[in-house]
Amino acid sequence: MPENNNRWTSDHLMKPGGTALYAAQQRERLRQMADQVQALLNEYRADLENIEIEGDKPFAARIRAYLASRPLAKLESDLRDAVNHAGKLDAEFQKRYVELPKKREANAEKKELEEARKKGLSNARAVNTAGQLQGMALGLEDPAKDGKSVAQKSGTEGQEPTFLDYLDNQRRA
């Protein structure tokens, strides 16, 4: 049995631009069908309105023609909806299979950076705290490198001794 090469396959759709091309072709085909059905509907409805049945009231023929042609109008409406759905095919493919992996990759990178930043901050915070403590200890010992401790500079001599005086005395002993 010979293979029909004019038929769309999933492989065709998976190629770059495949869904866009297919959607464009189907939209045009469905739009042409909808236009044909609309023209037929208008002609059919006009012919039905011209059929008068004895005992009709005013506008009865028009109402009857409208009701009789509703299935054809529904077909035309459904074809227009199909045109819109075919137009959404490529957009959905792009959103779900092209943009989603990129978005997930960007989110993963963002998450890694956030975790690294958090780890870096906690390490930096620990180093910073240790540095501050060391600086405080050095400041207590000789803050201005002039041989006078904080206790001596603060002028606590002659007053009640403070904790800094106690530390200074401990250092000297």
**Residue 1, domain member (yes or no):** no
C-alpha 49/C-alpha 77 separation (Å) is 21
The answer to whether 140 and 152 have CB atoms below 8 angstroms apart is no
Across 150-172, average pLDDT: 67
Q: At what angle do helices 60-68 and 18-49 cross, to 10 degrees?
A: 150
Q: Which two tokens stand for residue 25?
A: 């072709």
The answer to whether 137 and 126 have CB atoms below 8 angstroms apart is no
Domain co-membership, 80 together with 50: yes
Domain co-membership, 163 together with 123: no
Domain co-membership, 121 together with 136: yes
Domain co-membership, 103 together with 134: yes
The pTM of the full predicted model, rounded to 2 decimals, is 0.56
**Residue 56, domain member (yes or no):** yes
Domain co-membership, 76 together with 49: yes
**Residue 3, domain member (yes or no):** no
Amino acid identity of residue 11, one-letter, is: D
Domain membership of residue 105 as a residue range? 10-141
Which of 71, 75, 94 lies closest to 30, judged by CA?
A: 75
Across 63-83, average pLDDT: 95
Domain co-membership, 68 together with 128: yes
Domain co-membership, 16 together with 71: yes
Judged against a pLDDT cut of 80, whether residue 16 lies above it is answered with yes
Which of 97, 83, 7 lies closest to 38, judged by CA?
A: 83
**113 — alpha (psi -120 to 50), left (phi > 0) or beta?**
alpha
Across 33-60, average pLDDT: 93
C-alpha 83/C-alpha 131 separation (Å) is 69
Confidence of residue 166 (pLDDT cuts 50, 70, 90): confident
Domain co-membership, 137 together with 161: no
Domain co-membership, 165 together with 80: no
pLDDT of residue 133: 60
Domain co-membership, 111 together with 79: yes
Domain count, the chain: 2
Confidence of residue 52 (pLDDT cuts 50, 70, 90): confident
**Residue 71, domain member (yes or no):** yes
Domain co-membership, 30 together with 101: yes
Domain co-membership, 135 together with 89: yes
Judged against a pLDDT cut of 80, whether residue 159 lies above it is answered with no
pLDDT of residue 56: 85
Across 19-48, average pLDDT: 95
